[in-house]
Chain A
């Protein structure tokens, strides 16, 4: 399901003295089956955009096309439920949304709201739990007895249980330990690869962008500044630094050795794996060229 923004603008508290404009002329499209990362400084309008993706907010100007529905400023608030089932959102610190007595009931809550029967909701719950790394012993426990990381998994499971076509993630790993972060990011990536789930990730972690995303949108003060493949955008390291966004660790390191030793990588490595490969290739070709390359290699 494609999501397209056309000339979208959004003003908070429109018509009051506290009016403030959060989005200007947003043009962007999220292709079906893509893994899109939205990055930007705090207050650049990321979260506002995110709430447009399933019509929690309606644009005050322009239109948002979600699948075959078009949301305009005058769209009626009714009959949006269908959209919300197709676009699942995992909000920041989603553990705050848990409320049922048991984990099982909480995960089944979403599907039941969309009219799924009791038995099927239970089946979905049992199918989703292992995806987020929990087992069936958790089903009858109270969500409030769990650790923070486990609560996060249950909350994410609650959104995955909607079986959305587009999954929107607002900093899903904020406040988690490194292993927990990797686990959860891998879950999303598997869903993306195996089931063709479209993913929209809002994050400050450039390493996550480099590791997973195939499309990247850079926002600044309410407008889209750049859009494209992460490899193209991370080429402009200085531009990103000037926007206080930074680049992934691998890109940073690659740039440093490029400058220091005058190396020239064939393509900019985004991840540590790519970086290691590039270095290996470089060393090999230089060894064949003779002593000059070796000298440089030694001084590394």
Chain B
């Protein structure tokens, strides 16, 4: 079930993209999502697609990974596209069923939205496939640092984030184990009516919560025993290192934005 999910996983590697600073990749992915809304004609979408393909090429990761990453979301995307196509009016109308209209503008708009979705998913998949979750938290902590002045507990947020990320796979394993154990005791998950299905979740949820509480207590004890006293005065083991390459990548994102601004209709 969850095995099929590619999105959010990390693939170790040593490519140009892998070696970039996580801050660059995070900022890049965020700014890409903003930049993409500048595009509004074929030329601009073409430029964005080329940029994305170049980034994927530089990561040295098999293209199939990205295609597989889109697969679970394809129905959502198609649903949005179909709605867009059916409800966009225009001058050249092909089909007219009262409120539902298929027009040239609608179709083009649908394709734009489709491409937009795909490119955003490709870019964010690229971010998670090439960046270790822990580096990503480091980047988030760094980028949030200005907010510390506004009394935001940046260190605590980053700590919680990195612990949460660290335990996602562990909890997934645990979920599967408990599911198996309860299935062996005669529970059918995902069968029967809504009420029965909700009831069958209880024997899964309670053990999961109980073990999370236990785990939290053990982890807190282990952290205290190793001298953790909070964020004050800690040094860091993983250092973020900004190099010329990172500047280059950020500049290229800037150029992309400028280019789209000029090319857009």
Which residues of A come within 8 Å of B, CB atoms? 12-13, 16-18, 51, 54, 56, 78, 81, 84-85, 87-89, 91-92, 94, 96-99, 109-110, 113-114, 144, 158-159, 162
Q: What is the interface of chain A mostly: helix, strand, loop, or mixed?
A: mixed
Of the listed residues B4, B180, B207, the one surrounded by the most CB atoms of chain A closer than 10 A to its CB is: B180
Complex Cα spacing A101 to B188, Å: 21
Q: Can you list 14 A-B pairs, Cβ within 8 angstroms, ordered by A?
A: A13-B4, A16-B3, A56-B180, A88-B184, A89-B184, A91-B184, A96-B178, A96-B181, A97-B181, A97-B182, A99-B206, A109-B203, A110-B185, A162-B186
A188 to B4, CA, bound (A): 38
Q: Which residues of B contact A54 (CB under 8 A)?
A: 184
Most chain B C-beta atoms within 10 Å of own C-beta, residue among A13, A16, A88, A89: A16
| B2-38 near A? 1/0 per residue, CB < 8 Å | 0110100100000000000000000000000000000
Does B62 reach chain A (CB closer than 8 Å)? Answer: yes
Q: In the complex, are the beta carbons of A96 and B3 less than 8 A apart?
A: no
User: Are A97 and B3 also in contact (CB < 8 A) when A89-B184, A110-B185 are?
Assistant: no
A114 in contact with B186 (CB, 8 Å): yes
User: What is the minimal beta-carbon distance from B125 to any residue of chain A, in angstroms?
Assistant: 12
Contact A56 B183 (CB under 8 A): yes
| A17 touching B64, Cβ below 8 Å | yes
**Are A91 and B181 in touch, CB under 8 angstroms?**
yes
Contact yes or no, A113 B185, CB < 8 A:
yes
> Within 8 Å CB of A84, what residues of B?
183-186
B174 within 8 Å of A by Cβ?
A: yes
List residues 83-124 of chain B with CB under 8 A from any CB of chain A. none
Q: What's the minimum C-beta distance from A105 to chain B, rounded to whole angstroms?
A: 11
Contact A85 B207 (CB under 8 A): no
Please encode chain B, from 180 to 197, with 1 for each CB lying within 8 Å of some chain A CB and 0 for all others.
111111111001000000
B65 on interface, CB distance cutoff 8 Å: yes
Residues of B within 8 A of A (CB): 3-4, 6, 9, 62, 64-65, 68, 174, 177-178, 180-188, 191, 202-203, 206-207, 210-211
Give bound CA distance, A88 to B181, whole Å: 10
Flag if A16 contacts B4 (CB, 8 Å).
yes
User: Chain A contacts of B180 at CB under 8 A?
Assistant: 51, 56, 89, 91
What is the CA–CA distance of A109 and B206 in the complex, to the nearest angstrom? 14
Q: How far is the CA of A157 from the CA of B182 in the complex (A)?
A: 14
Bound together, the chains give a CA A113 to CA B192 distance in angstroms of: 13
- Residues of chain A within 8 A (CB-CB) of B186 are 81, 84-85, 110, 113-114, 162
> Is B188 touching A81 in the complex (CB atoms < 8 A)?
yes
* CA of A54 to CA of B186, assembled, Å: 11
Say yes or no: A97-B185 contact (C-beta < 8 A), given A17-B68, A51-B180, A144-B210. Answer: yes
Bound Cα distance A84, B185 (Å) = 7
Query: Smallest CB–CB gap between A222 and chain B, Å?
Result: 18
User: Of all chain A residues, which has the CB nearest B66?
Assistant: A17
Contact between A13 and B3, CB atoms less than 8 A apart: yes
Given contacts A96-B207, A99-B203, contact A56 B184 (CB under 8 A): yes
How many angstroms between the C-alpha atoms of A84 and B180 in the bound complex?
11
CA distance A129 to B182 in the complex (A): 20
A116 to chain B, nearest CB (A): 10
Interchain nearest-CB distance for A70 vs B (Å): 20
Q: Is the CB of B6 within 8 A of A17?
A: yes
Are A96 and B188 neighbours in the complex by a CB distance under 8 Å?
no
A16, A51, A162: the one within 8 Å of B185 (CB): A162
Interchain nearest-CB distance for B51 vs A (Å): 24
Q: What is the distance, in angstroms, from B167's C-beta to the closest C-beta of chain A?
A: 15
Known interface pairs A16-B3, A159-B185; 16 further A-B residue pairs with C-beta atoms within 8 A, sorted by A's residue number: A17-B62, A17-B64, A17-B65, A78-B191, A81-B186, A91-B184, A92-B177, A96-B177, A96-B181, A99-B202, A99-B203, A99-B206, A110-B185, A113-B187, A162-B185, A162-B186
